Amino acid sequence: MAKGDDDTVLDETLVTKEGLKRLQDELEELKGVKRKEVADRLKEAISYGDLSENSEYQEAKTEQAFIEGRILELEQMIKNAKIISEKKADTKSKEIQVGTTATIRNKTDGDDPIAYTIVGSTEADPLEKKISNESPVGKAVLGKKKGDTVEVSTPAGSFKYEIIKVA
């Protein structure tokens, strides 16, 4: 873990190579294109005169603040990035970890098994079957093996999941 300027401990950003590339691409877009666009909007809004009642100016300043905040956030995430491999499962133990794909079945509801890849929170996308290691299900299955059953408390209630396969 890295330390910030004020000695606070900063979390690592767990990402795949593709996830890191997406973060870098977004940062490049914000620094190169979006900054220039908002600067042009500010210049145009300033030319309208009285800034106290200039909604275009206020909107551009708000957007500028958002962009600059996101740039700082992305720079920090990239600086603290830790690359994970999507094929990181230990072939001996087959324990679930970040980067592992696990097929799990909801025993409570009797649903069909679903294969999820456990990823860092920046890449989580349930629609693509990528769940965060910080989500209730992600936390519960970390370190578990094929055949294990875990109980997960979620906002929707408590569920039991059986781990069918670890890849």
CA–CA separation, 156 and 159 (whole Å): 9
CA–CA separation, 146 and 163 (whole Å): 5
- Closest of 163, 158, 128 to residue 148, by C-alpha: 163
Q: Out of 9-13, 19-23, 33-37, 156-160, which region has the weakest mean confidence (pLDDT)?
A: 9-13
User: How is residue 11 annotated by DSSP?
Assistant: P
Label residue 65 exposed, middle or buried (CB < 10 Å: 0-12, 13-18, 19+).
exposed
Instruction: Calculate the average pLDDT of the chain.
Output: 85
More confident residue, 47 or 24: 24
Total-model pTM: 0.64
Q: What's the first-to-final CA gap in the chain, in angstroms? A: 28
User: What's the pLDDT at 147?
Assistant: 92
CA–CA separation, 123 and 14 (whole Å): 9
Domain limits of the chain?
2-83, 101-166
Would the pLDDT of 4 be above 70? no
- Same fold? 2-83, 101-166: no
Q: Out of 90-94, 110-114, 133-137, which region has the weakest mean confidence (pLDDT)?
A: 90-94
CATH class of 2-83: mainly alpha
CATH class of 101-166: alpha beta
